[in-house]
Structure 1
Amino acid sequence: MRVKRLSPAVNLLVAAVAFGLSAAIVLGAGIGNGVLVVVLGWALYLLGILVAAGRVEGRRAARDRAWRSLIYSACVLAILPLASVVWTLIAKGAGRLDGDFFRSSMNNIGARDPNGGAYHAIIGTLEQVGIATVIAVPLGVLGAIYLVEYGRGRFAGTVRFFVDVMTGVPSIVAGLFVLSFWVLIVSPWVNHGQPRFSGFAAALALSVLMLPTIVRSTEEMLRLVPGPLREAAYALGVPQWKTVLKIVIPAARAGIVTGVMLAIARAAGETAPVLLVAGGAAAINFDPFTGNQSALALFVYQQAGDASKYAPARAWTAALTLVAIVLILTVAAKMLARRSSSTR
C-alpha cells in the first residue's frame, strides 16, 4: 500500500503564504518589525502545515510533522544565540588579532596609544587555571568516587549537601573567602607581615568554584557505569579499589573529561575572584606566587570600562582569545580521552 506524502512544493507554498500573510498583517498594521513577522509567520506555517498534512497524510502523520517542526524550531532557537555570540566575537575581535597583541602587555600604554596587548593576561589565565585544575580535579574526582562507591550514611549525605550548596555559591563569595583567609591571614606569614595579592590566591578561589562542578558531573558519570561491570570484577576476586581504578573510571572517562572542561571554562571566565585576590597588573608577571597578576577575564572587564577609544577593540580580541583557549583545551582533552579509550 502506497502512503501519501506531502510534497516539498506544497510545504514551500505553505511557508510562503504564511510568511507573506504575517508580513502583510504586521507591517501593514504597523504593529511590529521583522522579528514579529518571523514569529507570527512561523506560527502560521505550523498551523498551515498541520491542516495541509492532515488532508493529505492523515491526522496522526500531521501531528507528527507539526511536532517535528516544533522540535526543529526549538533547536534553531537554541543555536541562534550561540551563533550570534560567536559571530559578534569574530567580527569585533578580529581587528586586533596581530602579533603586538600577543607579544606585549599594557605596561606604559597610555589612553592615546593604539598598541598594547594581552600577553600578561594570557599568562595569568593559563597559570591560574592550571594551578586551580591541579588542585580541584584530584579532589573532585576522589570526592565523587567516595560518594558513589564508598559513601554511606549521614556523612555522605552531609558531603552531598555541601556540594549542592557550593554549586550555587557566587564567585564573589569564593573570592572574599580566599581574600579573608589566604591574603589577609596566611600570606603575611611569608611576606614580613604584609598581605600580598598573587595569582596563586586567584587559583585557590577558582578551585573553590571548580570543585562542586567536578564532583557533581563525575558522580553522575560514575553512576551511569553499569553495575554488572563491577559485579563481574568482584566475582573474579578483584579488590574494590582496583575495580574503580581499572574498570569504573575508564568507562566513565569521557563524561569525567567533559565535566572537568566545563569547570575549567567557568574558572577561565571568572572576573570577581581575580580582581579581589590577584589585584590585576598591567605588566607581565610569570610568578603566580608573588605580586599582582592579571587574567583575560579581568583584562576584558578593565578594557571594556576604559575611556580610551582603542580599549574596546582590545576587550573584544581578549574575549575572542579566551573563547579560543577554552575551545582548544576542550578539543585537546576530548581527543586525548578518545585516544586513550581506543588504545585499551
Structure 2
Amino acid sequence: MPGVVMTPDNIRSRKLPVVTNVVIAVAAFAIAAAIVLGLDIGNWVLVAVFGAAFYLIGLSVVAGRIEGKRAARNRTMKALIYTACVLAVLPLISVIWTLVTKGLARFDADFFGSSMNNIGARDANGGAYHAIIGTLEQVGLATLMAVPVGVLGAIYLVEYGRGKFAGTVRFFVDVMTGVPSIVAGLFVYTFWVLGVSPIFNDGRPQASGFAAAMALAVLMLPTVVRSTEEMLRLVPGPLREGSYALGVPQWKTILRVVLPTALPGIVTGIMLAVARAAGETAPVLLAAGGLAAINFNPFEGGQSSLALFVYQQAGDGSKFAPDRAWTAALTLVALVLILTVAAKLLARRNKLSR
C-alpha cells in the first residue's frame, strides 16, 4: 500500500520460541509437583492434571504478550486439544502398565493349566483354567445367539422397518441398552434356572454355563443392533440404487452390497459387545454359579468365568489371591484383544468384503 514502509516486523509476525514453550511446561509441572506432592494430596496423576492446567494458563499469558491476543487464543486452544488427548490416554496407559506389571506374577503354566478345585487359603498354586474355559464357552454361545438376531434386527430397521412397529423395536432396543447386567442375570435365573432347568433335571434347579450365556446374550443384543444399524445407515444410497437398477432383488442387494460395505463397522460393534459380555460378573454368578472345578459342558453343571474369577480372588483373604486376580485380569484383556484382532483380520479377508 502507498505510504506504508514494509519492515521485518510488518512482514513476519512474532512467534513464541520453542524454548519458551518448554520452559513454561517444565515450570508448570514443577509447580504442580511441589503443590501435590508437597501437600501430599495425590499422586503423579493429579500432578499431570494440575500441571496441564498451569501450563495452559502460563501459555496463554506469555503467548498473549509475545504474539498478541488472537494468536495466543489460537495457540492456547491448540494446546488444550493436545492436552486433552494426552490426559485421555494417561488412564489407559496407567491401566495397561498396572495390568502388565502386576499380572505377570502368576503368568505361568500352573495358572493356565489348573483350576481352584481343592485349593485352600494357604496354597500358593491354583489357576484359572476353569475360568478361561467358561469364558470362551459362555461368550461363544452368547455370540451365536445375539449376533444373528441383532444383525437381522438391524437389517429390518434400516431396510424394511416402517411405521409404529419399527419405532417400538427401536424404543425397546434403546431401553435394553441401559439395563443393568444384574437385571439380565436375575431374569435368566428366574426364567431358565428356576423355571426351565428343573424339567430336565428331575425337578431340581440347575445353574449352567448356557444360562449365563443367555444372560450375556441379552446384554450383547442391543449393542449389536444399534452398532449394526448405524453402520448400515452409513452405506451410500447410490450403491443400493445401482444394484436395484441392474435388476438385483432387495435381499441379494443387502447380502452382496450393503453388508460387505458395512462389514468392518459391524465387526467392530460385535467385538464391543463381546468385550462387554466377557467382562460381566453378576450374570455369571447368578446363572452359572461360579464353580471352582473344570467343566467343559456348558449345558450341565455350574461354570466360572475370568471376570467372576477376578471378583472372587480380589475378595479372598489369602495372600496369594491378589496375584491370581491380576493375572486373570491381564488374561481377560489379552483374550479380548486377540479375539478383536482375529475378527478384524477375518473381516478383511472375507470374500463378502471384496
CA–CA separation in structure 2 for the residues paired with 1:96 and 1:67 = 46
Give the 4+ runs in structure 1 shifted more than 6 A: none
Hey, what does 2:100 align to over in structure 1? 90
CA–CA separation in structure 1 for the residues paired with 2:113 and 2:211 = 25
The structural deviation recorded for 1:57 is 3.8
Hey, what does 1:256 align to over in structure 2? 266
| 2:297 equivalent to 1:312 | no
CA–CA separation in structure 2 for the residues paired with 1:187 and 1:145 = 33
CA–CA separation in structure 1 for the residues paired with 2:43 and 2:193 = 53
The structural deviation recorded for 1:146 is 0.4
| 2:211 equivalent to 1:211 | no
Hey, what does 2:169 align to over in structure 1? 159
With the length of structure 1 as denominator, give the TM-score of the two structures.
Answer: 0.93
| 2:183 equivalent to 1:180 | no
CA–CA separation in structure 1 for the residues paired with 2:315 and 2:135 = 20
CA–CA separation in structure 2 for the residues paired with 1:250 and 1:61 = 47
Provide, for residues 80-124 of structure 1, a one-character-per-residue CA deviation record: whole Å limited to 9, x for no partner.
Answer: 111111111111111000000000111111111100100011000
| 2:139 equivalent to 1:115 | no
Amino acid at match of 2:244: Y
With the length of structure 2 as denominator, give the TM-score of the two structures.
Answer: 0.91
Amino acid at match of 2:194: L
Hey, what does 1:77 align to over in structure 2? 87
Amino acid at match of 1:129: V
Hey, what does 1:106 align to over in structure 2? 116
| 2:233 equivalent to 1:227 | no
Hey, what does 2:69 align to over in structure 1? 59
Is the partner of 1:281 in helix, strand or coil? coil
CA–CA separation in structure 2 for the residues paired with 1:17 and 1:45 = 8
Give the 3 Å change call, closer, same or farther, for CA 117–23 of structure 1 in structure 2: closer
Q: 2:340 aligns with which of 327, 330, 334?
A: 330
Give the 3 Å change call, closer, same or farther, for CA 261–20 of structure 1 in structure 2: closer
Hey, what does 2:15 align to over in structure 1? 5
Provide, for residues 218-239 of structure 1, a one-character-per-residue CA deviation record: whole Å limited to 9, x for no partner.
Answer: 1111111111111111111111
The structural deviation recorded for 1:343 is 6.9
CA–CA separation in structure 2 for the residues paired with 1:83 and 1:137 = 31
The structural deviation recorded for 1:209 is 0.4
CA–CA separation in structure 1 for the residues paired with 2:344 and 2:109 = 29
> Contact 2:49–2:87 at 8 Å: present in 1 too?
no
Give the 3 Å change call, closer, same or farther, for CA 240–27 of structure 1 in structure 2: closer
Amino acid at match of 2:188: V
Q: 2:291 aligns with which of 266, 271, 281?
A: 281
Is the partner of 2:350 in helix, strand or coil? helix
- Deviates further, 42-51 or 147-156: 42-51
Is the partner of 1:255 in helix, strand or coil? helix
**Structure 2, unaligned runs of 5 or more:** 1-10
Give the 3 Å change call, closer, same or farther, for CA 226–13 of structure 1 in structure 2: same
Hey, what does 2:159 align to over in structure 1? 149
| 2:53 equivalent to 1:43 | yes
| 2:237 equivalent to 1:245 | no
The structural deviation recorded for 1:41 is 3.9
The structural deviation recorded for 1:337 is 1.5
State the Cα RMSD in Å.
2.1
Q: How many residues align?
A: 343
CA–CA separation in structure 1 for the residues paired with 2:112 and 2:248 = 52
- Deviates further, 175-184 or 148-157: 175-184
Give the 3 Å change call, closer, same or farther, for CA 136–244 of structure 1 in structure 2: same
Is the partner of 1:202 in helix, strand or coil? helix
Is the partner of 1:242 in helix, strand or coil? helix
> Contact 2:260–2:353 at 8 Å: present in 1 too?
no
The structural deviation recorded for 1:51 is 3.4
Is the partner of 1:252 in helix, strand or coil? helix
The structural deviation recorded for 1:126 is 0.2
Give the 3 Å change call, closer, same or farther, for CA 131–91 of structure 1 in structure 2: same
CA–CA separation in structure 2 for the residues paired with 1:72 and 1:341 = 40
